[in-house]
């Protein structure tokens, strides 16, 4: 997959692209990210990219006669033009569904705004897919573009190693629940212990605990994530809870999860603990 980032501040991306997963993916050729400084399309001696808004008001507006030729030229830099995404707080919200949709593209251009935004004729002429990363204000689209790259690249086959599989992530298709609580060694810290069930070696019971934990957490923190079916089931559960007080440490839910990934016993901390201490789990 190829990203072309159009920005007045290409330096913002350099550190981010040269670390960790992004760096590896780029080095392996699984991902290309090309940075373009839009100021290269300023054609006057002051390199002007923005101007005061007609009608008055604060801030500056990015000029249509700089931005449109810039995007049109960058579109010719690969065999096929890419999908044009404009990062703007007025865009449609970025969700995992939108990320999944973008991950289908071969090429994406990310157009980053600054200041008060773009002249509206940029939108009229180029008809970009306008995307926002949330209901708060950023100084510009660069951080939002990095969020798009980060979330989309995880879904490209061959970009993440198996150990980082995106299939079971929260919000991925078929899984709109929050992640369960995680623990690793030590078993006890400042008097706080790991839930007993995770040390039991009973993989069926562990999976039931995890699913139950995820659903309770999602219901408590993000009920908006539960679709009609989930909400209905959880309401049934709440009723059951009222009638029958919860037994300590017992998993509530016995439904099967679609996305169960069984860890090999040898890979779990308790198994490693057991090996270290020469005990069976």
Closest CA to 251 of 281, 211, 220, 221: 211
123 binds ligand 6GU (CB under 6 A): no
- Asked about 89 being catalytic, the answer comes back as yes
- 188-217 residues near ligand 6GU, rule: CB under 6 A: none
Of residues 35 and 138, the one with the C-beta less far from ligand 6GU: 138
71 binds ligand 6GU (CB under 6 A): no
- Asked about 269 being catalytic, the answer comes back as no
Of residues 88 and 268, the one with the C-beta less far from ligand 6GU: 88
Number of residues in the chain: 281
Q: Rounded to the nearest whole angstrom, what is the least distance from the CB of residue 134 to ligand 6GU in the complex?
A: 5
- Active-site hit among 66, 107, 114, 154: 154
- Asked about 116 being catalytic, the answer comes back as yes
- Active-site hit among 24, 100, 169, 234: 169
The residue with tokens 């939002």 is 144
Of residues 142 and 270, the one with the C-beta less far from ligand 6GU: 142
59 binds ligand 6GU (CB under 6 A): no
Q: Rounded to the nearest whole angstrom, what is the least distance from the CB of residue 238 to ligand 6GU in the complex?
A: 34
Tell me the window of 63-71, 82-90, 169-177, 262-270 that interacts with ligand 6GU (CB under 6 A).
82-90
* Tokens of residue 252, six digits: 């509530």
11 binds ligand 6GU (CB under 6 A): no
Q: Rounded to the nearest whole angstrom, what is the least distance from the CB of residue 148 to ligand 6GU in the complex?
A: 9
Q: Rounded to the nearest whole angstrom, what is the least distance from the CB of residue 73 to ligand 6GU in the complex?
A: 23
- 92-111 residues near ligand 6GU, rule: CB under 6 A: none
- Asked about 214 being catalytic, the answer comes back as no
68 within 8 A of 111, measured Cβ to Cβ: no
Q: Rounded to the nearest whole angstrom, what is the least distance from the CB of residue 113 to ligand 6GU in the complex?
A: 6
- 128-187 residues near ligand 6GU, rule: CB under 6 A: 132-134, 136-138, 140-141, 144
Task: Give the bridge partners for 61, in sequence order.
Answer: 51
Of residues 60 and 138, the one with the C-beta less far from ligand 6GU: 138
The residue with tokens 């100021």 is 39
Tell me the window of 10-18, 118-126, 127-135, 204-212 that interacts with ligand 6GU (CB under 6 A).
127-135
Residues near 158 by beta carbon (within 8 Å), at least 6 away in sequence: 28, 30
What amino acid positions are annotated as catalytic residues?
89, 116, 154, 169
List contacts with ligand 6GU (CB under 6 A).
87-89, 132-134, 136-138, 140-141, 144
């Amino acid at each position: 997959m190829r990203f072309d980032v159009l920005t007045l501040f290409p330096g913002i991306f350099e550190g981010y692209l040269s670390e960790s997963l992004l760096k590896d993916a780029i080095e392996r050729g699984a991902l290309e990210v090309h940075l373009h400084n839009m100021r290269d399309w300023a054609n006057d001696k002051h390199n002007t990219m923005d101007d005061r808004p007609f009608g008055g008001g604060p801030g500056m507006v990015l000029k249509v006669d700089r931005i449109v030729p810039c995007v049109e030229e960058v579109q010719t830099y690969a065999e096929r033009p890419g999908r044009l995404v404009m990062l703007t707080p007025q865009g449609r919200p970025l969700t995992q569904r939108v990320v999944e949709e973008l991950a289908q593209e071969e090429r994406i251009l990310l157009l980053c705004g600054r200041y008060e935004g773009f002249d509206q004729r940029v939108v009229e002429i180029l008809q970009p897919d306008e995307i926002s990363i949330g209901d708060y204000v950023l100084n510009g689209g660069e951080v939002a573009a990095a969020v798009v790259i980060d979330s989309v690249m995880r879904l490209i086959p061959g970009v993440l190693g198996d150990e980082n599989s995106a299939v079971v992530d929260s919000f991925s298709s078929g899984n709109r629940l929050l992640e369960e609580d995680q623990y690793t060694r030590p078993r006890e810290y400042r008097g706080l212990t790991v839930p007993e069930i995770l040390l039991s070696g009973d993989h069926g019971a562990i999976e039931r605990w995890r699913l139950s934990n995820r659903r309770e957490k999602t219901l408590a923190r993000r009920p908006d994530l539960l679709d009609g079916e989930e909400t209905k089931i959880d309401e049934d559960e709440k009723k059951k809870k009222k009638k029958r007080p919860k037994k300590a440490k017992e998993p509530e839910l016995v439904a099967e999860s679609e996305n169960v990934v069984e860890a090999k016993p040898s890979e779990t901390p308790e198994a490693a603990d057991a090996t270290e201490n020469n005990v069976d789990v």
